[in-house]
Amino acid sequence: MMENLHELLINRRSIRRYTNAPVDADDVRLILEAGLMAPTSKNARSWQFVVVEEPEMLALLGQCKPNYATSVANAPLAIVVTADMTKSEAWIEDASVAASFMMLQAADLGLGSCWVEVRDRYREDGEPSEEYVRNLLGIPEEMAVVCILSVGYKDETRRPIDTTKLLWEKVHAGKW
Ligand SMILES: Cc1cc2nc3c(=O)[nH]c(=O)nc-3n(C[C@H](O)[C@H](O)[C@H](O)COP(=O)(O)O)c2cc1C
């Protein structure tokens, strides 16, 4: 692929439906490399990632909250993004930047992806989504589960971002 970054940003949209095709192991590796190359506060690299490709586990992860998690169950690949809350006070930022880098690398490989928020989300019975995911995957206590990235070949078409509709009123020149 390798369009220029601006084109890639225009064409990246959240993709929640995927074909059954597995993601090539080399591509999975490139996506993870992108996460591992992401900048972190004080270079703490507080994140750790769990790669899930097993269909049964993907289906279970897709039940981590009642709504907006179905893309995980639809996907051939999920990357669970966790962060060590004892390693950095900027663990949310560290994890978020790594997740963003992985989504952009996925986009560059022609893959669709979607961020599924886990932190501070709850299941229908009130159980924190984080606890549910932690138990399923054996993630240690000190690791927060920030999000799950669902990744796969696109099975839906989304319009590119319309750059004439960007919210420039949110940008302040010089001072607020
Ligand atoms: C912090 C964050 C949390 C998100 N959580 C979810 C989620 O739980 N489920 C989901 O389907 N999409 C989720 N998204 C995707 C957004 O809904 C999506 O980025 C937004 O609607 C803009 O659409 P676009 O990505 O196609 O441009 C999340 C995105 C971010 C940045």
Site to substitute for ligand 1 among 115, 122, 133, 149, most atoms within 8 A of C-beta: 115
Q: Is CATH 3.30.465.10 the right assignment for the domain spanning 5-170?
A: no
Ligand 1 center to 104 CA (angstroms): 14
pLDDT value of residue 2: 56
Give the H/E segment covering residue 108: helix 91-108
Q: What is the CA(74)–ligand 1 centre distance, in A?
A: 16
- Average pLDDT over all residues of the chain: 97
Q: Is 169 a residue whose pLDDT tops 60? A: yes
Q: 95 alpha carbon to ligand 1 midpoint, in Å?
A: 15
pLDDT at 1: 54
The set of protein residues with a Cβ atom below 6 angstroms from ligand 1 is 13-14, 16, 68, 71, 114-117
Q: Classify 52 as helix, strand or coil.
A: strand
Q: What is the pLDDT of residues 5-40, one digit of tens each?
A: 999 999 999 999 999 999 999 999 999 999 999 999
Q: What percent of the chain has pLDDT over 70?
A: 98
Domain ranges for the chain, please list them: 5-170
Quick one: DSSP state of residue 160? P
